[in-house]
Amino acid sequence: MDFKVQLLQRKSKIDKVIGEVFKDKNGLQKTVIEAMEYSIKAGGKRLRPVLLLEVCNILDGDIDYAMPFALAMEMIHTYSLIHDDLPAMDNDDYRRGKLTNHKVYGEGIAILAGDGLLNLAFETMLDSINNDPKLCNRGIKAMQIISKASGINGMIGGQVVDLEWEGKKIDIETLDFIHKHKTSALIEASINAGAILGGAEENQYLELQNYGRCIGLAFQIVDDILDEIGDEEKLGKKVGSDKSNEKSTYPSLYGIEKSKEIVSGLIENSLKSLEIFKEKAEFLRSLAKYLEVRDH
Amino acid sequence: MDFKVQLLQRKSKIDKVIGEVFKDKNGLQKTVIEAMEYSIKAGGKRLRPVLLLEVCNILDGDIDYAMPFALAMEMIHTYSLIHDDLPAMDNDDYRRGKLTNHKVYGEGIAILAGDGLLNLAFETMLDSINNDPKLCNRGIKAMQIISKASGINGMIGGQVVDLEWEGKKIDIETLDFIHKHKTSALIEASINAGAILGGAEENQYLELQNYGRCIGLAFQIVDDILDEIGDEEKLGKKVGSDKSNEKSTYPSLYGIEKSKEIVSGLIENSLKSLEIFKEKAEFLRSLAKYLEVRDH
């Protein structure tokens, strides 16, 4: 089957489950639930949950048990975008071609919607763990990986440094810190949590971890490249914003061609880590290659 | 021993453990850790951790195991204050006589410091669960109670309704919803989580749950009363802000005297629930009475 069809099928399955999470909006606090739903349903590739479920799948893990963890990854990702778009942070009016959360609901509700999604991510994982005590150890370990990746030594750490260095020239070490923490941490955590939930043996875990490190960084460099030479319509946002904000990026430090070479090297490296999984890893292989050539 | 000395001893023990959490501030992201530390160390009664540990204690539970959950309660409480003080929410410049987080670090860092504390609360509880697998079931259940209480069906739900009704006349049902969710939820969760961690039997759990419900609501009504007739110096903030914001409160709906009567009734009710614990519950009894007469 064509890779893009497979990707779409996986995405649809996740979208369906997301739709069910926000069905009940009857309480006095319904505005915040609407705001959370607005942003989590505002498009998105569902890359993190797709990765988590696929890694669990190639290890013959329990996909039903893993689904709440996949949802949690998307909730955490969405909350980070809502807070990142706020006037006090990146001050963006549009994301994926739609108004950002605070432009629709106001800043106060947007802050609370972000808080609500982070909190709900943990509630969702805990419910799953509580429902199936025999997988408790794997669940706790996966939740631990996810919580570290989203915290001050992970994603939040990256956002802080990104915020502090805005508009200033930065060196490659600082840029790598931001990329690794702000973007790659959640992508890597999706893969590592999926590996734990699938019951990976140590060597399998290490290979998957390397796959995650490579595609996580490659993903962000491609983002930087697309911001410079991408198609606004396909991206659903203005390009060139990094340049006009004088943001240091891979293209600004290395140029477009060299940046593309770095991406190719990372993808190649990621594919080597999949060799031990043979034909089972076909989808993950195609996904890595797709991340290199994606246009949005 | 005098109750106030006992309270101070418990508070000091918690302050000491909090001090150790934020020792390491060497990473590139150190600003956010400083900001988190600033607010969690900016005073506060440590009511929630004190309650959690004391409830666990009267049930002869493992206090070392419970400590990270107590810390988590204080982290969640602190994050909620940081976000609540933001310009887009209550827009407060001072809290407990000190500048609020965003006045010191700016709005962007304050948002991330709040996010960081919520996330760290879960990291902290998970580390504890992972360190002692034999208490895993209790730990998961306690974390579940805490996560529900801090989420959209708990504290965040209360904040949303509070924000939406700001400056409008509200009825007693809506005010009760706000009080119950915004303030009482975390106080109740501290008690209920402490009960689970201490291994409470069902009847013990139900009595403690009622104790929590009563003192949680009483605590907020006393806050409302203090905002009207309290001493600014002792409170560390301006009084009369509810009135000037035309905020509906117990005093505005019932008057001061009737509000005080309601508080007395709640405290009396809370004390009845402690009877089965006999002399072991002496501290919790004194604490309930203290909450009624506190001046800050």
Please write the tens of the pLDDT for every residue from A261-290: 999 999 999 999 999 999 999 999 999 999
Taking each continuous run of H as one helix and of E as one strand, the counts in chain B are: 16, 2
Query: With 80 as the cut, is the pLDDT of residue A105 above it?
Result: yes
B271 at interface of A, judged by CB pairs closer than 8 A: no
Q: What is the CATH number of domain B3-293?
A: 1.10.600.10
On chain B, the residues whose CB falls within 8 A of the CB of A163 are 108-109, 112
Mean pLDDT within B19-32: 91
Q: Determine the distance in angstroms separating the CA of A144 from the nearest CA of chain B, rounded to an integer.
A: 6
Q: What does the alpha-carbon distance between residue A17 and residue A8 come to, in Å, rounded to a whole number?
A: 14
Mean pLDDT within A25-53: 95
Q: Determine the distance in angstroms separating the CA of B272 from the nearest CA of chain A, rounded to an integer.
A: 32
Query: What does the block give as tokens for B138?
Result: 């209790």
Contact (CB, 8 A) for A53 and A63: yes
Q: What does the alpha-carbon distance between residue B275 and residue B271 come to, in Å, rounded to a whole number?
A: 7
Pairing of strands B98-99, B94-95: antiparallel
Q: Tell me, what's the pLDDT at B24?
A: 83
Pairing of strands A94-95, A98-99: antiparallel
A291 at interface of B, judged by CB pairs closer than 8 A: no
Q: Tell me, what's the pLDDT at A245?
A: 67
Q: What tens digit of pLDDT does each residue of B68-105 get? A: 999 999 999 999 999 999 999 999 999 988 999 999 99
Mutate to test the interface with B, among A105, A122, A176, A181 (most CBs of B within 10 A): A122
- Sign of the alpha-carbon dihedral angle for B104, B26, A156, A169: positive
On chain A, the residues whose CB falls within 8 A of the CB of B111 are 83, 86, 88-89, 111
Mutate to test the interface with A, among B75, B91, B107, B119 (most CBs of A within 10 A): B119
Q: Tell me, what's the pLDDT at B202?
A: 98
Contact (CB, 8 A) for B87 and A106: no
On chain A, the residues whose CB falls within 8 A of the CB of B112 are 83, 156, 159-160, 163
Share of chain A above pLDDT 70, in %: 99
Mean pLDDT within B195-222: 97
Quickly list DSSP for B163-224: HHTTTS---HHHHHHHIIIIIIHHHHHHHHHHHHHTT--HHHHHHHHHHHHHHHHHHHHHHH
CB contact under 8 A, B119 and A88: no
Q: Which residues lie across from B94 on neighbouring strands? A: B99
Mutate to test the interface with A, among B28, B135, B172, B174 (most CBs of A within 10 A): B28
Q: What is the CATH number of domain A3-291?
A: 1.10.600.10
Query: With 80 as the cut, is the pLDDT of residue A236 above it?
Result: no
Q: Determine the distance in angstroms separating the CA of B174 from the nearest CA of chain A, rounded to an integer.
A: 8
Q: What tens digit of pLDDT does each residue of A126-150 get? A: 999 988 888 889 999 999 999 999 9
Mean pLDDT within B7-15: 96
User: Quick count: other Cβ atoms within 10 Å of Cβ B132?
Assistant: 13
On chain B, the residues whose CB falls within 8 A of the CB of A141 are 130
On chain A, the residues whose CB falls within 8 A of the CB of B32 are 152, 156-157, 160
Quickly list DSSP for A73-98: HHHHHHHHHHHHHSTTTT--SEETTE
